[in-house]
Chain A
């Protein structure tokens, strides 16, 4: 589900359109709020409160009973609802495989491409001390 939190609402919606969806309803209306983000002293010590982030959340129930929850950074309640819907669908015997194949897998692929590009650009700025050549004399 982490893949969905990294995707845009429009991308998730577009992928979901390729599946003929079962009936579903909001178990909880999407809601915006805050989550206090925590760090650790020294990176690995006791936790402390760093500052908050906006978060949107939703819950969706399929007609067949599966309940899905959607949480995402930001204030896009439609995205939270889409994540909740996907979360419910992956639990369903009839739709689980399709959502994994047609929604999550392609978005994961897209995320990996983006991350690889960034990692390669970052790698080009790595300092290689061994390539320095001492001047003659």
Chain B
């Protein structure tokens, strides 16, 4: 029997008031500002921008504050916000080769032109908690050295010159760029749609999927050909202006994964590639993305696709944490009607069971509990 749900309005209003107080915490403690979040929790902001699929540091910081630090909730808020703005168009593709590099490492070549640049990294730290950060820490000024004017070509470009690695697939003339925010995803999906999906996909999910390929579920022998982080310029071909206008610069992380060979009777063997690109400094995300991008190319490369990470429909349908959290968390909303019908069916089945086998125990106590 369905019992009407009424009278929750005041409880909801009061719950939100309570939430506002819980969010603020002890009011004798200073309130955190958006600048503080953006400057001091920068990697959380980067993640919210990447998976919220909206580059705007201030909005991402606001979302993190509003969500009490729950990053998936913050990503949800950012996604909802983006739906309120008109879209002016699409940018010119950014040139990561011209990035003002702040970090750039290769695990395949020691002596890459332009050098190995560590930049601000957790790598080689000892992962020991640092009590001096607890309060009033003032870091030593960064060391400086003469800036190099040498170009920093992509490692894949260097390998490509000798034909040792496959070249990137080029767009066919007049081909449109797939956009899963406009068209629902269909399978099989082209590489542009897969990369868009992975770029906004959940870091934890992609990390687990990428890790699974390393552990043997769709192994593809990866090397981190190059990881680079820095600033790239964005240009937009504005219709009213008639040419590409500069919009400013954004920070990006790019990962070029170099993977096991392919070759055939007609094609010399060469390394294959997986690609990762994300907003901000998002190394774990782009490395995982590149591993999964490569795994999802199994079909194209004629590999056996038996592992979860190679299953395009499985990966792309479950990578989005806003969709995932929506479906998982909706379970906590009232399902009284659904549950009543299940309960009715179960009672009927139990009654039939009891009638068919009169000797079996009829657990009256459980029946009562269900009511």
Contacts and interface: CB of A to CB of B under 8 A. Distances in A.
Interface residues of B, number: 81
Interface string A85-125: 00000000000000000000000000000011111111111
Nearest to B166: A42
Nearest to A39: B277
Given A42-B273, A46-B170, A123-B147, A53 B250 contact: yes
Nearest to B235: A2
B54 A53 contact: yes
Contact of B145 (A47, A51, A115, A123): A123
Interface in B130-176: 142-148, 154, 156-157, 167-171, 175
Interface residues of A, number: 52
B160 to A, nearest CB: 9
B256 A41 contact: no
Contacts of B96: 39-40, 43
Interface string B43-76: 0000001100111101100000000000000000
B115 A127 contact: yes
Nearest to B228: A43
B254 A43 contact: yes
Contacts of A37: 55, 90-91, 94, 234, 250
- The interface residues of chain B, by DSSP majority, are classed as mixed
B29 to A, nearest CB: 29
B291 interface: no
Contacts of B233: 2
A127 to B, nearest CB: 4
Interface in A34-52: 34-52
Contacts of A43: 96-97, 154, 156, 168, 254, 256, 275, 277
B147 A52 contact: no
Contacts of A34: 54, 82, 85-88
Contacts of B167: 42, 45
A35 B101 contact: no
B117 A75 contact: no
Contacts of B92: 38
Interface string A57-72: 1010000000001011
Given A53-B54, A71-B247, A47 B87 contact: no
B168 A6 contact: no
Given A121-B142, A126-B117, A127-B115, A5 B246 contact: yes
B365 interface: no
A53 B154 contact: no
B345 interface: no
A125 B87 CA distance: 40
A57 B86 CA distance: 12
A125 B85 contact: no
Contact of A124 (B103, B143, B177, B196): B143
Contacts of A38: 90-94, 177
Contact of A123 (B144, B256, B277): B144
A21 interface: no
A18 interface: no
Contact of A36 (B91, B111, B249): B91
A116 B259 CA distance: 36
A73 B247 contact: yes
A43 B233 CA distance: 14
A5 B82 CA distance: 22
Interface of B: 49-50, 53-56, 58-59, 82, 85-94, 96-97, 100-103, 110-111, 115-120, 142-148, 154, 156-157, 167-171, 175, 177-181, 191-193, 195-196, 199-200, 233-234, 236, 238, 240-241, 245-250, 252, 254, 256, 273, 275, 277-279
Interface of A: 1-2, 5-6, 31-55, 57, 59, 69, 71-75, 115-129
16 contacts: A5-B248, A35-B89, A39-B195, A42-B167, A42-B169, A43-B154, A43-B156, A43-B277, A48-B193, A49-B196, A51-B279, A53-B91, A72-B248, A117-B144, A119-B147, A123-B146
